[in-house]
Amino acid sequence: MVSLDVRPVSGALGAEVRGLALADVDDDVFARLHELLLEHLVLFLPDNAGLAAADHEAFGRRLGPLEVHPFLPKLDGHDEIVVLDSDQGAKADVWHTDVTFSPAPPIASVLQIVQGPEVGGDTMWSNQYLAYEALSAPLRELLEGLTALHVFEHPNGSYRSEAEHPVVRVHPETGRRSLYVNRMFTRRIPQLTPGESTALLAHLFDVGEGPQRVCRYRWTEGGVAIWDNRATQHYAVNDYTGRRVGRRVTVLGDHPEGEPARWPHHQAAGMSATAVKD
């Protein structure tokens, strides 16, 4: 087995890998990083100042085909690298899992912070395996028969997407179950009444964001994070002044799998299916 300097950053998830540059990752090291990613869910590689855009893309492609985002700004000459610039409003300070409004949400992301504030600007990740496991057995049984509708609409009306996914998904590589709803994109559980859906989602959001299931990472400029989008949420802490700029590649997704829904969509008496659809 390849030997790497691996240091867990919390009891819940996350590990730092010291002294490793993405540009130097060979097949054996990549295989070890993949194992570590499945174990820790998010990996931090702080020693990557000067990472070339082509090397950033090349590493991402080892995980899978890369997304060209439909509207976020791109790095000049590199359509697969999204630029997240706080001066342009890129402050994702709501807990979320990336792009769950897609029928095939991304499986992973590779983010480098190329400019950061002197103080603040950390990112937090939450372990959604542990969120699912924290629920009571009766509630877990209920959730495994439910789906959730995830929606995004651009404020200017130029883009809208929605998808329906299991509330509990099964990781295709580990076989573990995780909670798969998030505050940013999950709108409702269609098998329930509106009131039931709102109440249950509020509880699930709270469980998924619980601090005992979170790691918080203090960036150094040039540092890289790689995370598994299938079993995590994340939150960019908006506690800073100055500018924060990241470059991210996102690995195209799979179709979240779980137990099939055990009930039809709820339809209020006297209302058509069209009337109750978002």
149, 278 Cβ separation under 8 angstroms: yes
Is there a catalytic annotation at residue 96?
yes
pLDDT at 179: 98
C-alpha distances in Å from residue 187, one per residue of 17, 152, 182:
36, 9, 9
262 pLDDT tier (thresholds 50, 70, 90): very high
pLDDT at 187: 98
Average pLDDT for residues 101-127, to the nearest whole number?
96
70 pLDDT tier (thresholds 50, 70, 90): confident
pLDDT at 269: 64
Is the residue at 61 inside a domain?
A: yes
Could you report the per-residue pLDDT of 86-110, keeping only the tens digit for each? Answer: 988 767 789 999 999 999 999 999 9
Query: Which stretch of DSSP H or E encloses residue 179?
Result: strand 177-179
273 pLDDT tier (thresholds 50, 70, 90): very low
Average pLDDT for residues 51-66, to the nearest whole number?
96
C-alpha distance across the termini of the chain, in Å: 51
Residue 124 has pLDDT above 90, yes or no: yes
Could you report the per-residue pLDDT of 152-204, keeping only the tens digit for each? Answer: 998 888 889 999 999 999 999 999 999 999 999 999 999 999 999 999 999 99
Is the residue at 56 inside a domain?
A: yes
Average pLDDT for residues 111-122, to the nearest whole number?
94
pLDDT at 90: 67
214, 129 Cβ separation under 8 angstroms: no
Say which residues have a Cβ less than 8 Å from residue 43's Cβ, sequence separation at least 6: 14, 15, 16, 17, 33, 36, 37, 225, 226, 227
Average pLDDT for residues 206-210, to the nearest whole number?
98
d(C-alpha 21, C-alpha 220), whole Å: 14
Residue 122: how many CA atoms within 13 Å on its side-chain side?
Answer: 9
pLDDT at 159: 86
> Which is the catalytic residue, given 32, 47, 98, 169?
98
Average pLDDT for residues 240-244, to the nearest whole number?
92
Is there a catalytic annotation at residue 150?
no
Is the residue at 272 inside a domain?
A: no
Is there a catalytic annotation at residue 87?
no
pLDDT averaged over the chain?
A: 93
Residue 277 has pLDDT above 80, yes or no: no
Count of the separate structural domains present in the chain: 1
C-alpha distances in Å from residue 14, one per residue of 37, 47, 183, 217, 238:
9, 16, 22, 9, 21
pLDDT at 258: 97
274 pLDDT tier (thresholds 50, 70, 90): very low
d(C-alpha 111, C-alpha 234), whole Å: 12
Portion of the chain with pLDDT greater than 90, in percent: 87
110, 223 Cβ separation under 8 angstroms: no
275 pLDDT tier (thresholds 50, 70, 90): very low
Conformational region of residue 99, where left means phi above 0, alpha means psi within -120 to 50, and beta covers everything else = left
Is the residue at 273 inside a domain?
A: no
> Which is the catalytic residue, given 34, 69, 96, 187?
96
pLDDT at 73: 87
C-alpha distances in Å from residue 189, one per residue of 21, 139, 141:
43, 14, 15
133 pLDDT tier (thresholds 50, 70, 90): very high
Q: Let me know if 94 is exposed, middle or buried by CB neighbors in 10 A (0-12, 13-18, 19+).
A: middle
Portion of the chain with pLDDT greater than 70, in percent: 96
The residue range of the domain holding 50 is: 5-267
Is the residue at 277 inside a domain?
A: no
User: How is residue 93 written in tokens?
Assistant: 């300070």
d(C-alpha 220, C-alpha 11), whole Å: 22
Is the residue at 47 inside a domain?
A: yes
Q: What is the CATH number of the domain that holds 127?
A: 3.60.130.10
Listed range (71-80, 169-178, 251-260) with the worst mean pLDDT: 71-80
> Which is the catalytic residue, given 183, 213, 234, 244?
234
Residue that has been written with the tokens 């996350």 in this structure: 14
Is the residue at 139 inside a domain?
A: yes
Is the residue at 278 inside a domain?
A: no
Average pLDDT for residues 41-51, to the nearest whole number?
95
DSSP letters spanning 14-73: -EEEET--GGG--HHHHHHHHHHHHHHSEEEE---TT--HHHHHHHHHHHSPBP--SSS-
Q: Which amino acid is at 102?
A: S
